[in-house]
Structure 1
């Protein structure tokens, strides 16, 4: 179902601000903070304010159109169509690396089979120590 159809089904319109935010998230292919999104939106839509961007991001997240996660001490957003992806973050040096989805698939299966719990494993940051930092401590 398209973003426009999802919004309409929930009683919302695809406003110019919402369209621009979704386009930015879809086109960027990176994790963006709300402030970074705001800077791009205000260059494209006259008169938009920061609170509009924050409210729109909250709405899009509640509808499952965007995903919000904490990364490097900030909340970041990405388009939900980018799929599930995860990160490993070293708590000493702060290095972040991608974690393949297939590594969490057994966890999801185990939670469902053993606990009847269907986990939302959309975007996770797992903290710990990278190899370099482990060797130094």
Structure 2
């Protein structure tokens, strides 16, 4: 993140105060929908940013590889800093909790997909839906 300004300038963009606030919000949140990022930005003492500014900032930062997103459900994407993409998301269909597993956990899956289809999956963008240990026990 220390080269954020340089990365933006190299693409003809500036590190605006709004973009810096978005990155700071994601740093604090670790994961956040655009609405959660907007709420976090609103709590930082600065001027309120319109949701459209949050979306445009997230899009610009994602285009640069600074942030990434995952779809945990059918609603808004969840954003995180790209260097935080060291895990896959596990979403419980019973209680709705979201937990994480190391990215290496998906290595066999990715290899199986690659071997069967030639397609190389990006598991950093992946959310797996199922049942957590507590809800799985409730089903039995």
Bin of the TM-score, shorter chain as denominator length: 0.7 to 0.9
How far apart in 2 are the matches of 1:23 and 1:134?
37
Are 1:88 and 2:107 matched, yes or no?
no
How far apart in 2 are the matches of 1:91 and 1:47?
35
How far apart in 2 are the matches of 1:97 and 1:47?
31
Aligned match of 1:134: 136
Using a 3 Å threshold, how does the CA distance of structure 1 residues 23 and 109 change in structure 2: closer, same or farther? same
Using a 3 Å threshold, how does the CA distance of structure 1 residues 136 and 110 change in structure 2: closer, same or farther? closer
Task: Describe how 1:60-75 pairs up with structure 2 within 5 A.
Answer: 60-71=61-72, 73-75=75-77
Question: SS at 1:32's partner residue?
Answer: coil
Contact 1:88 1:96 in 2 (8 A): yes
Using a 3 Å threshold, how does the CA distance of structure 1 residues 93 and 48 change in structure 2: closer, same or farther? closer
Using a 3 Å threshold, how does the CA distance of structure 1 residues 121 and 3 change in structure 2: closer, same or farther? farther
Aligned residues: CA RMSD? 2.5
Number of positions where the alignment pairs a residue of Structure 1 with one of Structure 2 = 136
Offset at 1:22? 1.1
Offset at 1:78? 1.1
Contact 1:69 1:124 in 2 (8 A): yes
Contact 2:86 2:102 in 1 (8 A): no
TM-score (norm 2): 0.78
TM-score (norm 1): 0.79
Are 1:100 and 2:102 matched, yes or no?
yes
* CA-to-aligned-CA distance 1:70-117 (integer Å, 9 cap, x gap): 236542211112132112222122232211211112333444555443
Decide which structure has greater strand share.
1
Aligned match of 1:38: 38
